[in-house]
Amino acid sequence: MEDSMLQELQQQANTQDISSIHSSTEALSGETESTSKGTNQEQMVPVSEAIKYRKRAQTAEQQVQQLTEKLQNSQQIQQDTQAQLNEKELENKLTQELVQAGVVDVEAALLLAQKKAETRQDNHDTRGLIEVLRNERPYLFSHPVGEVSASLAVPTAGVRSSGGGVNNLLRSAQRAQQSGSRRDMHEYLRMRRAVQR
């Protein structure tokens, strides 16, 4: 009897296990069917809309690529422009310093100084460049600017006024106005130039 009871209990346990397994598999299959139906419904998009989305994505990618290229081009142009600006600033600074140093031939000295600036690491040291140029090629330099301008300030030969320059000028202006002669007008203008110096 015990054997028969044991068999009955085992059969009931097996039946309960099978039924519980069967119910759990039914529940799982129900869930997977509902999720697969949900994903199919979510993935189901009309073909025309999918084509529109794809075209939009492609045009957006093309626009991004074009804008990236434009950005790179503009950055390159900016770098080139900045380099040109730096060169021009150095050229202007060198020209001013060379003129102040009393260079006879500014263009030749500027070219030589620019060549030296390319070989040097500190090319913004214009005074150093000019000193190197002065030591290597002294024939390019004459006198300092102060001496040159002082020698240029001496007036050349011209009409000398005979004392009261303003009074003579007024008389000459009145004579030129009254006579209307070219000779009187020319004399007045020559005297005016002499007084202004």
Whether residue 39 lies inside any domain: the answer is no
pLDDT band for 143, please (50, 70, 90 cuts).
Answer: low
Whether residue 142 lies inside any domain: the answer is yes
The string of DSSP codes covering 23-62 is HHHHHHHHHHHHHHHHHHHHH---HHHHHHHHHHHHHHHH
Whether residue 49 lies inside any domain: the answer is no
**Which one is predicted more confidently, 72 or 180?**
72
Q: Containing domain of residue 103, as a range?
A: 71-150
Domains in the chain, number: 1
Whether residue 35 lies inside any domain: the answer is no
- The pLDDT of 100-124, averaged and rounded, is 83
Segment of 58-62, 113-117, 144-148 carrying the highest mean pLDDT: 58-62
For the cut 60, the answer to whether the pLDDT of residue 112 exceeds it is: yes
Whether residue 109 lies inside any domain: the answer is yes
For the cut 70, the answer to whether the pLDDT of residue 131 exceeds it is: yes
Whether residue 13 lies inside any domain: the answer is no
Question: Which residues share a beta bridge with 141?
Answer: 103
Alpha helices in the chain (DSSP H): 2-43, 47-101, 106-119, 126-136, 145-152, 165-179, 182-196
Q: Please give the Cα distance from 103 to 194 (Å, whole number).
A: 32
CB distance 162 to 195 below 8 Å: no
Whether residue 40 lies inside any domain: the answer is no
Say which range, 6-15, 73-82, 147-156, has the weakest mean pLDDT: 147-156
Instruction: Tell me what percent of the residues of the chain surpass a pLDDT of 70.
Output: 63
In this prediction the pTM is 0.41
Q: What is the pLDDT of residue 72?
A: 95
How confident is the prediction for the chain on average, in pLDDT? 75
Whether residue 99 lies inside any domain: the answer is yes
Q: What is the pLDDT of residue 20?
A: 52
Q: What is the pLDDT of residue 58?
A: 94
Estimate to the nearest angstrom the gap between the alpha carbon of 122 and the chain centroid.
Answer: 22
